[in-house]
Amino acid sequence: MTAALAIATPGETRTEDAPRPLGPALSWKGRPAWRSCVIRIWRAPLVAVYFGLLLADAARISLTTPAHSDLLGDAALLAIALGALGLLALLAWLTVRTTTYIISDHHVEMHFGIGLQAKLVIPFGAIEHVAIRVYGDQTGDIALRLIKGQGVLYLKLWPHARPWRWFRAEPMLRCVPRAGVVGTLLSRAVAAEAAAHAASRGVT
C-alpha cells in the first residue's frame, strides 16, 4: 500500500489522491548509499561509541577489582551491543531498499517508507531554495525549502526531512551518491523553471 502526498505549485489545485504524473524527461534517479545511511541517518558510530565506553568501563572494573568482575554480564553487554549495531545496519538496508528519489523535468519525486510506502511529488515551482551538503565520501543531503504555505508534516517525512526543521519541514534527499553533482543539477533545473515561469508572465 502506498500513501500519496502532493505539494502544489502556487495557483495550482492538488489533492493527495492525484499526484502529478512523472514527466517524459528523467534527469536523475537514485537512492541513498547504504554506508552513509548507517552513519548519518541511523547514527551507528554514536551507538558504537556508547557501548564501547560501557564495555571499556566493564573491562576496567574486571582488571582493577577482579572480585567485582562479571564475565556473564560483560558477555551479555557485548551481545546487546552487537545486536543493536546489527539492527541499525538492517534498518539502513531497509531504508535504502525502500527509497527512490527521482528528478524529472518539472518535479522531484520521493518514494519512501519501510512499513508504509509514501510517494511525495514536489513541483519545481513549489521549491524556494535547494541546500546541498556534501560529505567527505561525496555522498550528501539535498534539502528542499518549500515556499510558504506548502509543506508536509515532519514526522510523515522522517528520515527524509532536514533535521530540526519541525515547524516548516523541508523534504531532504538523504545520503545521495555524488550529491554535489545531483544537487547542482536540481538547483539549475529549479532556477530554469522559475525563469521560464517569470518569462511567461512577462517578468524580467
Range of the domain at 70: 39-95
85 and 24 belong to one structural domain: no
pLDDT of residue 68: 63
% helix / strand / coil in the chain, to the nearest 5?
Answer: 45, 25, 35
Proportion of the chain above pLDDT 90, given as a percent: 66
125 and 187 belong to one structural domain: yes
- CA angle 43-144-142, nearest 5°? 45
Say whether 91 sits in a helix, a strand or coil: helix
pLDDT over 90 (residue 9): no
Element (H, E) at 55: helix 44-64
Per-residue pLDDT tens digits for 154-200: 999 999 999 999 989 999 999 999 999 999 999 999 999 889 888 87
Q: 67, 95, 123: which is the final residue of a domain? A: 95
CATH number of the domain to which 103 belongs? 2.30.29
β 100-104/107-112 pair status: antiparallel
pTM: 0.83
177 and 138 belong to one structural domain: yes
Burial class (CB in 10 A: 0-12, 13-18, 19+), 201: exposed
- Cα separation of 71 and 9, whole Å? 62
Taking alpha carbons only, the member of 10, 12, 22 closest to residue 121 is 22
pLDDT of residue 41: 97
Direct distance between the N- and C-terminal alpha carbons of the chain, in angstroms, rounded to an integer: 45
79 and 117 belong to one structural domain: no
Average pLDDT, the chain: 86
Number of domains the chain is built from: 2
Of 3-12, 61-70, 174-183, 190-199, where does mean pLDDT reach its minimum? 3-12
Per-residue pLDDT tens digits for 105-149: 899 999 999 989 999 999 999 999 999 999 999 999 999 999 987
Torsion of Cα atoms, 8 then 9 then 14 then 15, to 10°: 0
